[in-house]
A and B are shown apart, each in its own frame.
Chain A
Amino acid sequence: MTKPKLAVWKFASCDGCQLSILDCEDELLAITDVVEIANFTEMTRKTSDGPYDISLVEGSVTTAEDAQRIVNIRKSSQAVIAIGACATAGGIQALRNYADIDDYIGAVYAHPEYISTLTTSKPISDFVKVDLELHGCPVNKEHLIEVIVSALAGRKPRIPTFSVCQECKMKGNTCVLVAGKSACLGPVTSAGCGALCPAIGRGCYGCFGPVENANTKSLSAQLTINGLEEGKRRRMFKTFNANTKEFEREFS
């Protein structure tokens, strides 16, 4: 029996989400028993041509070449799964979307004329149809395995669709927003991390992006009542998932 082909593709990113695959130390060799790793540059020199059963895509689209590359990947893939904040929301590099790109290039590079880049950093779904988005900066590695396994089995993945706030309540943490008066994005952020930040006494900083129907307006009002100054409140939303409509409306 031929094994299903799994490909991993990188766009503009830190490599942290694809590293999460290599971080599955107990499962890594078992995964390679049941799927063929058809493209995964960080892991192997081997490459094989499509079509691919599953393409995991990390990173955002920031160059004209990459805008074309993702179209080609889509054409040769049965399922395209965007993993991480860069692929699902443009990532931290999407802060250029709210700035003057020439100013950005000049600030970093001695020879701006060498740099070819789009003025925006956009998620994969702005360019091609995406079958599934797995959020997080970085993604949760158990969820990543669940996404691969469920795609192979042709079923829906069991990934939480509620907020960090609910995840936090289930863990029995003391509320950092109410009791600690900390700035916390837990009520408007997708679950998946395990409510890591409130568990160590800091407010959630929203790295898993907005939960569905996030009431960011109400949270912003509460943060202001808690004494969070305006500049800080705006910057909280304008970070790893800035380029989402829910977070964007709180700073633009």
Chain B
Amino acid sequence: MKDNNLPVSGTIDVHGIARVEGEGALHVHIDEGRLENVELEIFEPPRFFEAFLRGRGFEEPPDITARICGICPVAYQMSACLAIEDVCEVEVGDDIQALRRLLYCGEWIQSHALHVFLLHAPDFFGLEDAVDLAKIDKDAVNKGLFMKKVGNRLMEVVGGRAVHPVNVKIGGFYSAPTKKELELLLEDLKQALDYALWSVGWVAKFEFPDVETTYPLVSLVHENLYPIDCGTVASSDGLNMSPKEFLDTIVESHVARSSALHSKLYGQEVYLTGPMARFNLNYERLTPMAKQAAESCGIEPNCRNPFKTIIIRTIELVVVFEEAIRLIENYIQPTPPSIELVPKAGMGYGATEAPRGLILHRYELDGNGIIRQAQIVPPTSQNQAAIEEDLKKVVEGHIDLELEELTRYCETAIRNHDPCISCSAHFLEVDVNSK
């Protein structure tokens, strides 16, 4: 708290927000105690994936789009596979789909453990990084690192490599692991599940600023699974549609900043995807121990405080550890590991849940299996407006704080959503001149 009663005037400029993936900046302008302007800026240089995907072969998107993001490559690979398979009007069998979900669990584990322990938790202790956190609670950081390592190991066994897995192909996998290879992971997964359950209680005791949000939430939903690798697109105000309907209407208009269709459906241009949306829209689909952990830690089933997303991430860690164990115990090695498919001319759509939110792909192929058009909508480009909404609320609610403390709050508010700026930059309208 500042020690005089003069209203605050000043500017918060964080050039290069720390502990997020990619390059972003924050600008807040306050004039005599009144918030003038908040801007989350993305100055990551554009890389033009959608442009150079044109003219590539239909079998290439899993390898190429993985390179959009080193933290969530599987999210890109899975949405790409679903979209190309949709063009070709084929669906993989249950055994292949289960193996995809298992690989995706590995990605969620490493990404959530990284975010909760190395990127986000230090904020709640007023610390600069996880190395400092380890000085006061080494056990917590080590548990986080252990979970992260187990996630990476799972990705290596199923995907061949933790960063940019090599084993994913359109139609399935190049090679499927044996049941025995997967069972070797069970002991560590069970240990990590214990740590995940512990971590729910650990983060639930953090202090959370009182912030309530009202924007619509958007997430995949599925009739009996917590959404990871499949589902339809639903919103907190009652919509439920196919990825095709969603991409063809809402997101298209959002990316082009033409708000007509979007406004018509939502009444406003802002919506949020990611853990808070998934949790609220799929509370009844939580796995048994995750449900129990959610009930006992005191989080509301309809949680609208974005600062509590760190609790939801630990609950989702429980979900993916339980799911990974279940999938391995029920594993039937898919034979063959992939289905044959013949490329067709047409348009296809794919949607999955990246650790940080809904990710959609759309491809148009010609009759020779060459990509004519590609569109990729990553979570952070959808969430950018909602993050700015949160920032406004945080600044308005804490305008009497010293600028340095307010800056920390703002940074935490951004990290609440685990933004993946490398991903979003390639698709958003960005003004790289204005920094």
Contacts and interface: CB of A to CB of B under 8 A. Distances in A.
Q: Could you say which of A16, A66, A207 has the most chain B C-beta atoms within 10 Å of its C-beta?
A: A16
B167 interface: yes
Contacts of B23: 10, 41
Interface in A18-51: 18-20, 22-23, 25-26, 28-29, 32, 37, 41-46
If over half of B's interface residues share one DSSP class (helix, strand or loop), that class is named, otherwise mixed; here it is: loop
B interface, size bucket: 35 or more
A3 interface: no
A15 B22 contact: yes
B76 to A, nearest CB: 10
Contact of A110 (B73, B169, B429): B429
Contacts of A187: none
Given A16-B164, A138-B70, 6 more contacts: A19-B70, A26-B145, A29-B145, A43-B131, A44-B19, A137-B164
Interface in A166-204: 193, 196-197, 199-202
Interface string A89-109: 001110110010001110111
Interface stretch (A70-78, A114-122, A126-134, A217-225): A114-122
B70 A108 contact: no
Nearest to B64: A92
Interface stretch (B146-154, B279-287, B390-398): B146-154
Given A42-B19, A201-B175, A114 B429 contact: yes
Given A43-B118, A99-B52, A111 B432 contact: no
B400 to A, nearest CB: 23
A55 interface: no
Contacts of A205: 63, 166
Given A107-B51, A111-B429, A117-B45, A43 B129 contact: yes
A62 B255 CA distance: 23
Nearest to B375: A108
A240 B51 CA distance: 15
A28 B51 contact: no
A15 B433 contact: no
A115 B426 contact: no
Contacts of A243: none
A44 B129 contact: yes
A14 B54 contact: no
- For the complex of A and B, the 7 pairs showing the least CB-CB separation, nearest first, are A16-B70, A44-B129, A104-B51, A200-B175, A25-B149, A93-B47, A45-B18
A13 B422 contact: yes
Interface stretch (B90-98, B155-163, B228-236, B262-270): B155-163
A130 to B, nearest CB: 20
B295 interface: no
A239 interface: yes
A63 B141 contact: no
The interface centre, meaning the residue of A19, A45, A99 with most chain B CB atoms within 10 A of its CB, is A45
B128 A117 contact: no
Contact of A15 (B57, B146, B411, B422): B422
Contacts of A41: 16-19, 23
Contacts of B163: 16-17, 19-20, 23, 138
Interface in B42-63: 44-52, 54, 56-57, 60, 63
A191 to B, nearest CB: 15
A14 B422 contact: yes
Contacts of A46: 128-129
B69 A15 contact: yes
B116 interface: no
A144 to B, nearest CB: 11
Interface string B207-224: 000000000000000000
11 contacts: A12-B47, A14-B68, A32-B131, A41-B16, A42-B19, A92-B49, A116-B433, A117-B46, A196-B166, A200-B173, A231-B57
Contacts of A239: 63-64
Contacts of B45: 11-12, 62-63, 66, 117
Q: Tell me which of B46, B64, B131 has the highest count of chain A C-beta atoms within 10 A of its own C-beta.
A: B46
A166 B67 CA distance: 26
Nearest to A59: B45
A249 interface: no
Contacts of A156: none
Nearest to B160: A196
B67 A240 contact: yes
A131 B23 CA distance: 25
Given A25-B146, A104-B52, A14 B134 contact: no
Contacts of A66: 45
B161 A110 contact: no
B330 to A, nearest CB: 23
Contact of A29 (B134, B256, B411): B134
Contacts of A12: 44-45, 47
B223 to A, nearest CB: 33
Contact of B432 (A116, A196, A231): A116
A94 to B, nearest CB: 10
Nearest to B165: A196
Interface in A197-252: 197, 199-202, 205, 207, 231-232, 235, 239-240
Q: Which interface residue of A25, A116, A137 has the most chain B CB atoms within 10 A?
A: A25
Contacts of A16: 67, 69-71, 73, 163-164
Nearest to A15: B70
Contact of B166 (A14, A20, A197, A231): A197
B256 A110 contact: yes
Contacts of B52: 92, 95-96, 99, 104
A23 B52 CA distance: 30
Given A96-B52, A117-B46, A45 B129 contact: yes
Interface string B413-435: 00000000010001101111100
A117 B129 CA distance: 32
A104 B261 CA distance: 26
Contacts of B80: none
